[in-house]
Amino acid sequence: MIPPEAFYAGLNKVLAAAAGFITDAAGRVLLVKPNYRDHWGLPGGHIDEDEHPEIACARELQEELGLTLPVGRLLVVQWVPPFDGRPYPLIHFLFDCGTVPDGAEVVLQEEELEEYGYFTAEEIKDRELVPGFLLARITAGARARATGGTFYLGPSAGAPA
């Protein structure tokens, strides 16, 4: 019999992250610009040990943006293969966090973020604000919100080179 610690040590390692799909009253998507990456992203981050994805999403929105928003239904689950120095695949949960009310103040976490903005899908694509795998996630998130569906994106959905 294999001891449990040996069995678990031999299993595949996967990182997990969660983010919020947030729009303004005009339907533009809220993106943040981290100071440690060349591209923009959805507000969110890695899930802590023993933390549920929706709790991680709420925590990250509060930490990164100073916003307390309801974490709604799951829109997208995406599998992202290892790349760019990340040794493990990432499974990403994207939740519908609604529309930011007019006048809601965003307070950026200055240790990690440079700026934020609201963008249309066309602006995100035309300005190449995000890599292909993230554009696929954003597009699927908008479609899921509009249709009431939930989407799974596999490793080929805008996969990094």
Nearest CA to 42 out of 68, 14, 24, 64 is that of 64
Counting runs of H as helices and runs of E as strands, what totals does the chain give?
4, 7
Tokens 């507000």 found at: 43
* Structural domains of the chain, ranges and CATH numbers in brackets: 13-150 (3.90.79.10)
pLDDT tens-digit profile, the chain (161 residues): 889 999 988 888 999 999 999 999 999 999 999 999 899 999 999 999 999 999 999 999 999 999 999 999 999 999 999 887 889 999 999 999 999 987 788 999 999 999 999 999 999 999 999 999 999 999 999 999 999 999 999 877 766 55
Cβ proximity of 21 and 95 under 8 Å: yes
**What's the pLDDT tens digit per position in 82-114?**
887 889 999 999 999 999 987 788 999 999 999
- Please, are residues 106 and 57 in contact by the beta-carbon 8 Å criterion? no
Q: Are strands 90-99 and 74-80 parallel, antiparallel or unpaired?
A: antiparallel
pTM: 0.92
- For 109, the token pair is 């976490």
